A = this chain, B = another copy of it.
Amino acid sequence: MTTIKSNASTEVPGRDEIAAAFRGIQEEICTRIETADGAGKFTREAWEHKGGGGGLTRIMRNGDVLEKAGVNFSGVEGTLTEEMAAGIGAEVSPFFATGVSIVMHPHSPHVPIIHMNIRYFETTGGTYWFGGGIDLTPHYVNPAQARFFHEKVKAVCDRFDPAYYPRFKQWADDYFFIPHRGETRGVGGIFYDRLVADETHTKPDLLAFCLAVGRLFHDVYTELIRENRHLPFTENEKKWQLIRRGRYVEFNLVYDRGTRFGLFGNGRTESILMSLPALASWEYDHTPAPGSPEADTLAMLRKGRDWTAGQK
């Protein structure tokens, strides 16, 4: 297969350097999250991809805080089928795709679920782009913590481009949305895709932005774990957590492009579906009592909310 080779002496990062930087971020995140958890350790499972390349899947099970957490790195080669190419608007050609994908499900309903992804895609035809995102899914929305999260995300975005946060925040609102429920998945965050170099952003800038999002992840999640890990919870709150996890499953299996692209593109199923929780539940027509914390949370799962303004 013809591939674009990186060249360490040039300013423009090639695929191998980008993949190595992503691999480094995976390592850093696992180390930092093991520290934050205090007990759980990530396993290490290297795998190969049929088309070329492979990945490293790291899973924590039954940590002190985290019930199930996955940090997946992949760097795979393949050839776009016509259907896949049409779906992503690229030419039918060999491609290389590398990324880090993370989903963490805590034991406690008071610690939020979190997701982060950074990715790079290129074809041998010269097309390339960066993408990524980070979003927070509290089982119970805490507006002060949602504000903390969004302000941290905004600060990282602002370092690269003041236009990023408003644009990518709205993109996240639109992307992390469950139409059949009329709910956002959580309090959102940012989502971005198809970033290419232009007059104001070089390719190294774009890579640096992705890496900054990766580092942001372990900083904010460490803080959110610290703040919430020791809060007591009731059986009823645990039940609500399992229902919210059910919605998470619905989003990932019905809509999430990464999940569906992976499953339909012969990706490694276990690495793709590490995003699903250890336990989830569905109750027919579950409706929280008016005025309950659960009803308050549902009312806040709406698009277009400015979390940085600290709205209640």
Write the residues of chain A forming the contact surface with B, with a CB cutoff of 8 angstroms.
45, 59, 61, 68, 70, 179-181, 242, 246, 249-250, 253-254, 260, 263, 269-270, 272-274, 276-285
Q: Is the CB of B180 within 8 A of A242?
A: no
Q: Which residue of B lies closest to A262 (CB)?
A: B180
CA distance A216 to B283 in the complex (A): 28
Find chain B residues with CB under 8 A from A249 CB: 249, 253, 280
Measured CB to CB, the closest approach of chain B to A48, in angstroms, equals 15
Q: A180-B269, A260-B254 are in contact. Are A242 and B284 (CB under 8 A)?
A: no
Between A68, A242, A254, A282, the greatest number of chain B beta carbons within 10 A of the residue's beta carbon is seen for: A282
- When all copies of this chain in the complex are counted, the total is 2
Main DSSP-derived SS at the A contact region: mixed
Measured CB to CB, the closest approach of chain B to A181, in angstroms, equals 7
Q: Which 9 A-B pairs have the closest CB atoms?
A: A253-B253, A276-B282, A180-B263, A180-B269, A270-B285, A59-B284, A279-B281, A253-B254, A274-B284
Q: Which residue of B lies closest to A242 (CB)?
A: B279
